[in-house]
Amino acid sequence: MATMRISQLAARTGVPATTLRYYETAGLLPAGRSPAGYRVYGEEAVERLAFVGAAKGLGLPLDEVGALLSVWESGVCAEVRAELRPRVAARLAEAGRRGAELAAFAASLRAALDRLDALPERAGRCDEGCGLHAAPEPLPVPVPVPVPVACSLTGGAMAERVAAWHEALDGARRSGIPGGVRLTVPAARTVVVAGLAVAEQGCCAFFDFRLHLDGPDLHLEVRAPEEGAELLAELFTPAA
């Protein structure tokens, strides 16, 4: 059976090699090994990546994509549909909530335009008499959706994620900040660190990531609620 090296798979699918490596770490894309130790992939990897890309395009986090992959591997379309439908419905409901907030904001902007169009043509200084200072209609305050302080990864997947972070943060300079930690690594690791941060949001949405490039350095700030302090320490304490 013909096989591809990681560079060939990346060129064929448009998925960067760094992402392919992370997908292997996350359990989404198994890879074989050549006698020389290089990653090799079969044709099924192309279909697998197409499915992952389609699922991500629906807004599904990687942990849910992984759950769907286990069903997809059985080859039964009806089972994939049964697993996918409630997840898409949940994303649709979320999009509806966001749409309502945007619609309210758009209405506020239209009202502001109407007030501007109604302003008198005055040569004097703008003050309360010209109506610009009228208070806009208050926007509805969205009800915050609580984010559970828990990680959906378990067992080997969790161990692999911890190892991936420790590798990315090897030798990092570490300092405490309110509610979290600040780590500084070479800027060359930006792609790897950013990819891990995006993936982490899929399974641990309670983490707050902020990345700042500063010349040759990348500063990563990670914050978590008090209940997530133990997991924060486990992931973001660089390996000795």
Q: What is the mean pLDDT of residues 116-134?
A: 67
Place of tokens 């420790």: 166
pLDDT band at 59 (very low <50, low <70, confident <90, very high): confident
The pLDDT of residue 90 is: 79
Place of tokens 């570490």: 174
Percent of the chain clearing pLDDT 90 (strictly above): 27
For the stretch 169-221, pLDDT in tens is 889 999 999 989 999 999 999 988 988 888 888 778 888 999 998 889 999 99
pLDDT beyond 60 at 132: no
Average pLDDT, the chain: 82
Task: Parse the chain into domains and list their residue ranges.
Answer: 4-73, 78-120, 155-236
pLDDT beyond 70 at 146: no
Cβ atoms of residues 217 and 172 within 8 Å:
no
Task: Give CA–CA dist 192/165, Å, rounded.
Answer: 9
For the stretch 24-56, pLDDT in tens is 988 899 999 999 999 999 999 999 999 999 988
The pLDDT of residue 107 is: 81
The pLDDT of residue 70 is: 86
The pLDDT of residue 126 is: 67
Cβ atoms of residues 190 and 211 within 8 Å:
yes
Q: Best-predicted range by mean pLDDT among 133-142, 155-164, 173-182?
A: 173-182
Residues 6+ apart with CB under 8 A from 120: 130, 131
Instruction: For the chain, report the end-to-end CA distance as a whole number of angstroms.
Output: 42
Given this structure, which CATH class describes domain 4-73?
mainly alpha
